[in-house]
Structures are given as C-alpha cells and as structure tokens.
Amino acid sequence: MTAPATVVEVKDFKPEVHSDWCPGCGDFGVLTALFQACAQLQIQPHNLMVISGIGCSSNLPGFIRSYGAHTLHGRLLPFATGCKLANQEMTIIGTGGDGDGYGIGLNHFIQAMRRNIDVTYIVMNNEIYGLTTGQVSPTSETGMKTKTSPHGNLEGMLNPMALALAAGCGFVARGFSSQIKHLVELYKAGIEHKGFALIDVFSPCVTFNKLNTYQYFKERIYKLEDEDHDTGSFHAAMDKALEWDPKIPIGLFYRNPDPRPPLDSLDPALTGQPLVHQDYTIDSETRGELIREFM
C-alpha cells in the first residue's frame, strides 16, 4: 500500500542556501512564483527536477529544494530531454536566460519544440548579458547602448514569442517578474500542459540594463486576459507576438486546441514503466547470444 503524499507548502521548496542575485533583480520574483506554483500544484520536491544552463538566471536550481542540475551554457534543454525520457513521471522545469536560451542555445530551443518534449521552459528575459557584466544579447533592442554596442545595437531584436509559434510550440506565454500572482497562474498552466511549454518572463536587470527597467515595462505591458484574445488561434497569437512598444502584451498567447502528443508518450519503450524503474538484467543465455552475435 502506497503511503499518502505529504501536503506540500511553499516553505518545503526553500533551501538553506539563499539566492544571491543583485538586490532588486527580477529573478527573485521568478523564483518566488515558482515556489508558489509548485506548492499549489502539490508537486512533491522529490518529483521535481529543475535544470539550468549558464548565467545569472541559471543559478536558480541552487535556490530551490528539488532535484536540479546546473548544466552547460545553452545546453539545458538536451539535458532536460534526457531527464524526461528517463523518468516521465518527474516534473521537469528548465530555467535560463535570454542569452543562454536564445543565443548559444537557440537550436536546442527549436529542436525541443519540434520534438514537443514535456518540459516547462522558463526564460528570464532581461534583454542583456548580466553575468558577463552588460553585453548586448539576442533580445536587446535595436539601438540599445551596451559595453559591446557603445554607439547603439545594430542588430535586429530576436522575437522569442513569434519564433516559438513558428516552430510549433503548443503553449506560448509571457509574464512579468513583478506580477507574481499572474506569473504563478502561467506557471501552473504551463506545467499542466502536456508537451513543451514556453514561459518568457520579463525579469529586469537592475545593474546593467538601464533601458528595460521595471518602470519601462509598467508603462507598456497589458494582460491578454483583459482583452478578447483567442488563445486557441494561432494567427491571433502571432499578431500579439509581433506587438512591441508602445504596448507590450503579457499572458497566455497560445494553447494549441489540438495538441500533438509529447515525445515521451510516443516512444514504445516509454509507454510502460519509466526507464529508471525498468529491469535491465538479462539471463546468461541471452547474454551469450548477444556476445556470439558481435564476435
């Protein structure tokens, strides 16, 4: 008989190690919302895996009590894919930044959406490289002055929302780190979505980005929930994804009304028990046959 699951509270996800981001960093709000979402969904800490790449935001797995991995720059999604395929009973959450996810990790981002692996990907988008002290990132606005663009960024600004939609992502959302309650609901919906879910979060860098500040977003953002937005319409979602200044939408852009099954539900080897629970032992006769076959 299986023992009943323990009721989980926010405090159960808080570790002894305190987060050490710069005072005022938007990533604090991202982490707080994640505590609350996991508690409200009653995810047991031992059934949660939080994976990151490299960057200020990617320190997050060290600040939540769960299984976690701090992987290579831009490589969290392949690692997360492997974790989900090994144990699809686990809740897998990826946490990274715009440089990590939309720069060096961009191809992995596209491939994870193509495969539709059941992972929730939270990207802390501060529109700059914070860990390396303020260089232009893929989502930095054109004309923005940084250490690597002192005369203004000459490159076009990458649009992760439009890219995710074009790549076939079945759940596309955007939040703002200072609106915790709204962010919690987006997290919960993304985690419960069966398939790849992108939640891009405006998370201001108070130290190196003096353009995209809290005030900048407060003056521009509006919630799609407050409008007559059809979250099941791809074309309506793409129209909203292309909006930028003077008004910037946040909320759920798109949830595929006819979603493809996630990759981990299609592989015949994964339809029974998770791989981590399967018996890999073979008898001596079978072992002998395998050896003779390859001799």
Q: Is 89 contained in some domain?
A: yes
What CATH number did the domain enclosing 51 receive? 3.40.50.970
pLDDT at 3: 55
Q: Is 180 contained in some domain?
A: yes
pLDDT at 87: 92
Query: Domain containing 56: what range?
Result: 21-264
C-beta of residue 143 within 8 angstroms of C-beta of residue 152: yes
Any bridge partners for residue 95, and if so which?
A: 52, 122
Domain count, the chain: 1
Q: Is 6 contained in some domain?
A: no
First to last CA, the chain: 47
pLDDT at 1: 43
Q: Is 10 contained in some domain?
A: no
Q: Which of 23, 32, 98 is nearest to 60 (CA)?
A: 32
Tell me which residue has tokens 């982490």. 31
CA angle 158, 160, 162 (to 5 degrees): 100
Q: Is 270 contained in some domain?
A: no
Q: Tens-of-pLDDT digits for all 295 residues of the chain?
A: 455 678 999 999 999 988 999 999 999 999 999 999 999 999 999 999 999 999 999 999 999 999 999 999 999 999 999 999 999 899 999 999 999 999 999 999 999 999 999 999 999 999 999 999 999 999 999 999 999 999 999 999 999 999 999 999 999 999 999 999 999 999 999 999 999 999 999 999 999 999 999 999 999 999 999 999 999 999 999 999 999 999 999 999 999 999 999 988 888 877 777 777 777 788 889 889 989 999 8
Q: Is 138 contained in some domain?
A: yes
Q: Is 106 contained in some domain?
A: yes
Length in residues, the chain: 295
d(CA 97, CA 27): 10
Q: Is 38 contained in some domain?
A: yes
Q: How far is CA 237 from CA 100, 127, 240, 249, 261, in A?
A: 25, 22, 5, 10, 21
